[in-house]
Amino acid sequence: MSLQSSLASLTLVLAAAVGGPAAPAAAAKIAVLAPRVESCGAFPTEERARAAGDAITDAIAAHVSRRGHYVVTEQQIQALVGIESARQLAGCDASSCSADLAAALGVDLVLTARVTLVGVGLLLVVKRIDTRGEGGRVVDKRLPVAELGPLLDAIPALVGELLVTPPTLTTTTPATTTATTPTATASTASSTPTPAPTAANATTSPPVRVPPSPRSEGGHPDAAALVARLAVAVDEASGAVIAFMADDALHGPLFAGRAGQPLYEARLSGGSQSDGGFDVLFWDPRFREGRRGSVARLGSAGVLTLQCGKATTTFKVLPPARARERLAKATLRKAPWQRALLGVGRDDDLTWYVVDGARDAPADALDLALYVGRRGHMVAIDAEGARVDGDFVFAGEGVKLRLPPAEPDASGRPRPGTFTLGAASTAVTPVDVFMAASEVYSVVRPWGDLPLGTPCDAPAPTAVGGTGKDRSPR
C-alpha cells in the first residue's frame, strides 16, 4: 500500500477508532510516532535500536498524556492500517508529509524523534509538527554518554518545552492603555506574535505595548579629543576593529566594532598594564568558559588578542598614520546596552521571569521591565509605577513577582518565589543573577536578537558557556 493510500484509508477509519471521548477543552490530540534510532555502541543491533525506540515512544507518550493531552500512538495506527503502512507513515520526514499525516489522523500535533551518535554521546532531537497554523518547533538534547537511561531522563523537559503554548493576549495600541493596567509586550525575540504567559493559566490577560529599548545609539561626548590618543588594531579576516588608548589602555576608553560601522565603547571592569603591555577585562555576560571578555597586548608587540570565553581572535596593530585614517572615517559611540539584569526566576514549566532596569539609575528611576515566557519567546510586562520592594519584588498594578535571594533556607531547600497576575499565582524558583546571566543573554534572550555591542560582537560569532573570573554579569 502506498503512503497516499495509507493516508486515505486512515482518514476513513480513524475518527471512529480514536475519536473517543472528547479531550479537555485546553487539551490537544497528539500523534506520537516511533523515533528513528541509529544503531551504535549503545544499540548495536537493529533489534536493540527498535527496543530503544519503543521505550522513547512510551516515555514521550506518557509525558504528553500527563499534561492532559489525548495521545494517538503508533500502535493504534498499526492496528488501523497495518504495520508496513504505519512504518511508511512514521518514516515520512518532510513537513508536508507530516502535515498530510496529521490531517489524516485528525490530530492537532505530530511528535517525531531522532537519536543519532555524536562522538561518544547521543543527540536526541524531538520535532513538533503543528496543523493549527502555529508552525513547527524542534528541541534537542546532547548527551555525553551513549546510554538509554539519560535519553529517557531528558524527555520530560523536551516535551514540556514543545507543548507549552500560553494563552493568547488581547492586543491593543498604546493609546488605549490606561495608567492603572499592567501591560504586556511582545519581545523582538521572535518575528511572529508570541502569546503571553499568565500565572496558573489566569483568565485575564493584559494588553500589549512596546517595552523600553535596552540599547541607545548616543555619540561619545569626548570623541573629538580621543581620536588623537587612540591606537587601532584590526582583524582583516572579519573586518573587526578595536581602538584603545595608546598611553593608558587600562583606564580606557576602549572601542570596538566593524570597519565602516560605528565603534562602541566597552564597559571596562578591571585588568592590568605594565611595560607597554596591558590586559583589560570588559563586560560581556554571555561567556562563562575561560575568561568572560578581555583585550590583551604583550609588551609593545604589534599584535593584540581579543578573548571571548574560549574563543580567541588576533588583531594586528596599525601604524599611527593608518590608525588616523581609520579613525577619520569612524564614529565613536557610548556603550549601547543601557539596561542591567536585576532578577531572574524560573518555574516548573520552564517559563522564565526576567527583570531588568536602567543601568546606573537611582532606585526611584529604574524604569523596571518584567519579561515572562519560554526561552527565545518572551513578552514584556510593564506595570505603571513598578518598583522593587523587600526580597526583590517587582510590583505594579495587577502584577507582582516576588524573588527571594537565590539561597537555600534552613532546611536546605530554595526559598520559593511567586508570580501573580490578577487573582492567579504560580510558584517561581529564584535563580542567582550571576549564574543565570550567560543563559539569559545568549539563550533566553528577553530582548530578542539585539546585539549587546561589546567587543565580542565585532569578530565572527563565538561560542558561549563555561565559567569566568569577571563577575560583571548584568
- The CATH number for 154's domain is 3.40.50.10070
Which set of grid coordinates corresponds to residue 420?
A: 501573580
Residues 225-245, mean pLDDT to the nearest whole number? 93
The verdict on residue 437 lying in a domain is: no
> Residue 335: is its pLDDT beyond 80?
yes
Clarify whether residues 208 and 353 are in a common domain. Answer: yes
Under DSSP, the state recorded for 442 is I
Residue 447 covered by a domain: no
Instruction: Determine the distance from the C-alpha atom of residue 151 to the mean position of all C-alpha atoms in its chain, rounded to a whole number.
Output: 22
Q: Which residues of 347-381 are buried (b: 16+ CB within 10 A; e: fewer)?
A: beeebbbbbbbbbeeeeeebebbbbbbbbbbbbbb
Is residue 424 domain-shared with residue 304, that is, in the same domain?
Answer: no
Query: Quick one: pLDDT at residue 8?
Result: 40
State pLDDT tens for residues 303-322.
Answer: 899 999 888 999 999 999 99
Distance CA 58, CA 384 (A): 48
Q: Does residue 342 sit in the same domain as residue 209?
A: yes
The pair phi, psi for residue 262, each rounded to 5°, is -60, 150
What is the pLDDT at residue 448? 82
- Determine the average pLDDT of the residues in 162-191: 41
Residues making up the chain, counted from first to last: 474
Instruction: For residue 198, give every residue at least 6 positions away whose Cβ sits within 8 Å of its Cβ, in sequence order, or none.
Output: 166, 167, 204, 205, 421, 424
Give the DSSP per-residue string, 236-275: TTTTEEEEEESS-TTT---EEEETTSPEEEP-EEEEEEET
- Give the domain-ending residue among 124, 141, 163: 163
Angle between helices 3-18 and 74-81 (to 10 degrees): 110
Same domain for 195 and 282: no
Q: Does the pLDDT value for residue 356 go beyond 60?
A: yes
Residues 227 and 201 in one domain: no
Q: Are residues 318 and 411 in the same domain?
A: no
Q: Taking 90 as the threshold, does the pLDDT of residue 413 lie above it?
A: no
Asked whether the beta carbons of 70 and 29 are under 8 A apart, the reply is yes
Above 50 in pLDDT, residue 184?
Answer: no
- The CA-atom distances, in angstroms, between 72 and each of 60, 254, 291, 438 are 11, 59, 49, 39
Mean pLDDT calculated for residue range 116-140: 71
Residue 71: all three cell numbers together = 495521545
How much is the pLDDT for 318? 94
Q: How confident is residue 348, by pLDDT bands cut at 50, 70 and 90? A: confident
- Per-residue model confidence (pLDDT) at position 174: 32
C-alpha distances (whole Å) from 245 to each of 253, 265, 319, 366 are: 7, 12, 14, 32
Q: How many separate domains does the chain show?
A: 3
Q: What is the pLDDT of residue 244?
A: 95
Distance separating alpha carbons of residues 116 and 49, to the nearest angstrom? 11
Is residue 246 over pLDDT 70? yes
User: How would residue 298 be classed by pLDDT, with cut points 50, 70 and 90?
Assistant: confident
Output the nine-digit C-alpha cell for 338.
Answer: 543601557
- Nearest Cα to Cα of residue 141 among 157, 156, 124: 124
Separation CA 290–CA 307 (nearest Å): 9
Angle at 273 between CA 272 and CA 276, to 5 degrees: 165
Residue 190 and residue 306 share a domain = no
DSSP 201: G
Per-residue pLDDT tens for 12-45? 333 333 333 333 335 678 888 888 887 666 677 7
Minimum mean pLDDT range among 39-53, 63-77, 87-101, 317-331? 87-101
In a domain, 448, yes or no: no
Residue with the larger pLDDT of the pair 94 and 357: 357
Question: Which pLDDT belongs to residue 171?
Answer: 31
H/E element holding 52? helix 46-66
pLDDT of residue 461: 43
Q: Domain check: are 276 and 415 in the same one? A: no
Query: In terms of domains, do 258 and 208 share one?
Result: no
Distance between CA atoms of residues 102 and 112, nearest Å: 12
Residue with cell 518547533: 137
Start-to-end C-alpha separation, the chain: 60
| Sequence-ordered alpha helix ranges (H) in 296-341 | 320-328
- The pLDDT of residue 9 is 41
Find the angle CA(68)-CA(26)-CA(24) to the nearest 5 degrees.
Answer: 60
- In a domain, residue 189? The reply is yes
pTM metric for this prediction = 0.57
Average pLDDT (199-218) is 59
Helix (H, G, I), strand (E, B) or coil at 96: helix
Mean pLDDT of 285-294: 73
Q: What is the pLDDT of residue 242?
A: 96
Q: Provide the domain limits for residue 289.
A: 223-333
Angle at 354 between CA 213 and CA 288, to 5 degrees: 95
Instruction: Kindly state whether residues 278 and 296 are assigned to the same domain.
Output: yes
List phi, psi (to 5°) of 222.
-105, 20
- Collapsed DSSP state (helix, strand, coil) of residue 417: strand
Domain end position, chosen among 290, 317, 333: 333
